[in-house]
Chain A
Amino acid sequence: MIEQRPSEERRRSSAAMDEARLRQQAIGVRLRQMFDEVVNEQVPEEFLDILRRADSRSPENG
């Protein structure tokens, strides 16, 4: 029986959609920041030490 959706309601729902999109964007930006924060950290020496040690125990040398 609803012939015409009140324009006020339509306006509100489209505003809500815009808001949701903005929040999603904000979440996406933060997500990348959170990840990149660790990527940009200095890699602990330990990692390279482990690789270096792995090097010296190459299969040819036993």
Chain B
Amino acid sequence: MGGGDKAPAVRPPRSAADDNAFKRELVQLIPHLRAFARTLCGDPASADDLAQDAMMKAWDARASFQMGTNMKAWTFMILRNQFYSEKRRSWRQTQLDQEAAERTLVAVDDPEAPVALDELRQGLAMLPPEQREALILVGAGGFAYEEAADICGCAVGTVKSRVSRARRALHVILEEGAYDRDGASAGDAMRSILADAERLSTVR
């Protein structure tokens, strides 16, 4: 949607009222920024650090935001860029190796049985990051595919395919958890399934 990427040569002076309106909207978004950060970072403390950094970045860049456009998508994009620029992805490796390898997933015999939160978190952690974020944005954040594409800086079709791959992979992971509960590390089994899925999906 962009268009306003280039800073205008002359920017109208900002009034205190502009800043206040901006801030009111930003404050409303804090809970959502925290939630998104939590899905990226895993650990709540570094997630809040990330959310705070993103909030301040948004505040500092307020002059470049056009009031009336989608501030939620704009702040999510800032948060996401912040995350990747700082490469705070370590939790995915560390937390996963330790926990997923030890803990096996709960069996799912009844398709209508609620999916355990723990299970889902583990499953999400197994997804490639770009699939995870696409699924989170669309499936939990309530963003349209177009908005998610803006946030992630990719094509709409890419978001769609990531979301559908993520859904399929998550399904497989959660089902596999049931088969694996008696035996070897569930994490290893899932990793190999996902590696296969990823390999297959990249062959065009």
A residues at B contact (CB < 8 Å): 19-20, 22-24, 26-41, 43-44, 46-48, 50-51, 54-55, 58
B47 to chain A, nearest CB (A): 8
B116 to chain A, nearest CB (A): 8
B residues at A contact (CB < 8 Å): 19, 23, 26-27, 30-32, 34-36, 38-39, 48, 51-52, 55-56, 59-60, 108, 111-115, 117, 120-121, 135-136, 139-141, 167, 170-171, 174-175
Contact B26 A51 (CB under 8 A): yes
A20 to chain B, nearest CB (A): 7
Give the secondary structure class of B's interface.
helix
| Known interface pairs A30-B120, A31-B120; A43-B55 also in contact (CB < 8 Å) | no
Among B31, B59, B167, point to the contact of A27 (Cβ < 8 A).
B167
Contact A22 B31 (CB under 8 A): no
Q: Whose C-beta in chain B lies nearest to the C-beta of A20?
A: B171
B23 to chain A, nearest CB (A): 6
Q: Whose C-beta in chain A lies nearest to the C-beta of B26?
A: A51
Supply 6 further A-B pairs (C-beta < 8 A) apart from A31-B139, A34-B39, A47-B51. A27-B167, A34-B120, A35-B35, A36-B35, A38-B38, A51-B27
